[in-house]
């Protein structure tokens, strides 16, 4: 939504600027979108792991609305028709996780797993076990929150789950999510199909989120991954910038420094992808980054978005047009996927592991 559009909605402006002022991004609320407000929006987007544009788009408006709520401001409960979202829910989930209650990822959405964890917590402290986080439950959380020695429960669970699944790729479920954008859709879809063939040959169940003709929405892509009970989701894209000198590869995983939460496996896989691609190609290493984009936040499986070069950079465009380069990217992804499930003692130096090494190790049979 552009500043001109927003300025025609005084109630939206008032709510946005009031929230930004309460959060410390503005000194006072405003009744119009000016340069000061746009700068505040950019600062908010930067802190929240959103695309820093200064625009009050749908995701930014939703994040500002969620940021209004602090734990204790309202009662929290599960409503399947309209699930409650907010910073208060994220704080609740984080505190439950710290105490060892498995409510899944701290995504700020009060779903059935969060309700179940609240009930377990309430039972443990002798409260009525109704799954509603009201004043009494909040007070108990404040009193009893503690850290768990030996690492956070979420990290321990994620690492244990990955170890139980074992190093072989057979029987795992991977969702490939290629961009539908007119500029990079063909590139992303071609890489997804190449990767699909390699994975199927190893016994992996693969879902591609779109076909050559169908263009699903973000929510449809997320629903597909969640219904498939995926082990891993890889979202394939490119980037653009107003200056053609920008170039390189970057990977993104779910994480919020503000709430001190992140996807343990997602962060590890993002790092593996980044290292393998930069070791095998001459793409600039633009590093890994924690973001709160919906595809990363709301997908239950560890999810990584890969921005494979800039279409605004002639050098990256030439690389992406080369079939051999695309094959190198696919091999890099294959090795990164396998590394994700290898134990540390079976791992090898980045850029040195080959498909033939996996065969000799008995991980691959083809």
What is the per-residue pLDDT across 48-91, written as a single tens digit (0 to 9) for each? 888 889 998 999 999 999 999 999 999 999 999 999 999 999 99
Q: What is the pLDDT of residues 231-245, one digit of tens each?
A: 999 999 999 998 999
Note the pLDDT tens digit of each residue in 118-135.
999 999 888 899 999 999
Stretch 310-326: mean pLDDT: 96
- Arithmetic mean of pLDDT, 321-329: 96
Q: What is the mean pLDDT of the chain?
A: 85
In angstroms, rounded to a whole number, what is the distance separating the alpha carbons of residues 270 and 263? 10
Query: What gap in Å lies between CA 56 and CA 48, rounded to an integer?
Result: 14
The residue ranges of every structural domain in the chain are 3-67, 70-147, 162-360
Pick the CATH number of 162-360 from 3.20.20.70, 3.40.630.40, 1.10.287.610, 1.20.1250.40: 3.40.630.40
Q: What is the pLDDT of residue 27?
A: 86
SS3 at position 94: helix
Note the pLDDT of residue 344. 43
Q: How many CB atoms lie within 10 A of CB 8?
A: 9
The residues, any chain, with a CB within 8 Å of residue 295's CB and separated by 6 or more, are: 177, 218, 221, 222, 233, 235, 303, 305
Do 162-360 and 70-147 fall under one CATH topology? no
According to CATH, the topology of domain 70-147 is Muramoyl-pentapeptide Carboxypeptidase; domain 1 (1.10.101)
255 with 267: CB under 8 angstroms?
Answer: yes
Confidence (pLDDT) at 32: 80
What's the pLDDT score for residue 362? 42
Q: Distance between CA atoms of 218 and 295, rounded to whole angstroms?
A: 7
Contact 75, 134 (CB under 8 A): yes
* Lowest-confidence pick of 71-80, 107-116, 150-159, 191-200: 150-159
């Amino acid at each position: 939504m552009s500043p001109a559009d927003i300025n025609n909605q005084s109630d939206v402006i008032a709510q946005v600027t009031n929230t930004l002022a309460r959060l410390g991004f503005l000194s006072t609320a405003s009744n119009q979108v000016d340069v000061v407000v746009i700068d505040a929006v950019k600062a908010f987007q930067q802190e929240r792991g959103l695309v820093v544009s200064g625009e009050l788009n749908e995701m930014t408006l939703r994040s500002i609305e969620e940021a209004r709520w602090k734990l204790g401001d309202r009662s929290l409960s599960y409503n399947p028709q309209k699930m409650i979202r907010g910073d208060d829910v994220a704080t609740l989930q984080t505190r439950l996780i710290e105490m060892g209650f498995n409510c899944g990822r701290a995504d700020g959405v009060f779903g059935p797993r969060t309700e179940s964890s609240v009930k377990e917590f309430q039972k443990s402290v002798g409260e009525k076990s109704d799954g509603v986080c009201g004043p009494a439950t909040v007070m108990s959380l404040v009193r009893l929150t503690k850290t768990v020695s030996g690492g956070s429960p979420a990290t321990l669970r994620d690492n244990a789950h990955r170890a139980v699944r074992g190093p072989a790729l057979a029987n795992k479920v991977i969702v490939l999510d290629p961009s539908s954008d007119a500029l990079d859709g063909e590139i992303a879809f071609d890489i997804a199909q190449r990767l699909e063939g390699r994975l199927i040959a190893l016994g992996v169940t693969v879902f591609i989120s779109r076909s050559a003709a169908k263009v699903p929405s973000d929510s449809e892509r997320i629903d597909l991954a969640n219904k498939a009970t995926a082990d891993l989701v890889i979202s394939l894209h490119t980037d653009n910038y107003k200056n053609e000198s920008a170039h390189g590869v970057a990977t993104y995983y779910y994480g919020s420094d503000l709430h001190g939460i992140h996807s343990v496996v997602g962060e590890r896989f993002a790092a593996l992808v980044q290292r393998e691609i930069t070791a095998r190609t001459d793409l600039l290493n633009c590093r890994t980054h924690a973001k709160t984009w919906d595809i990363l936040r709301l997908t239950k499986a560890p999810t990584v978005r890969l921005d494979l070069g800039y279409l605004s950079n002639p050098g990256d465009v030439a690389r992406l047009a080369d079939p051999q380069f695309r094959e190198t990217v696919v091999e890099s992804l294959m090795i990164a996927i396998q590394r994700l499930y290898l134990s540390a003692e079976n791992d090898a130096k980045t850029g040195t592991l080959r498909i033939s090494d996996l065969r000799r190790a008995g991980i691959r049979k083809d």
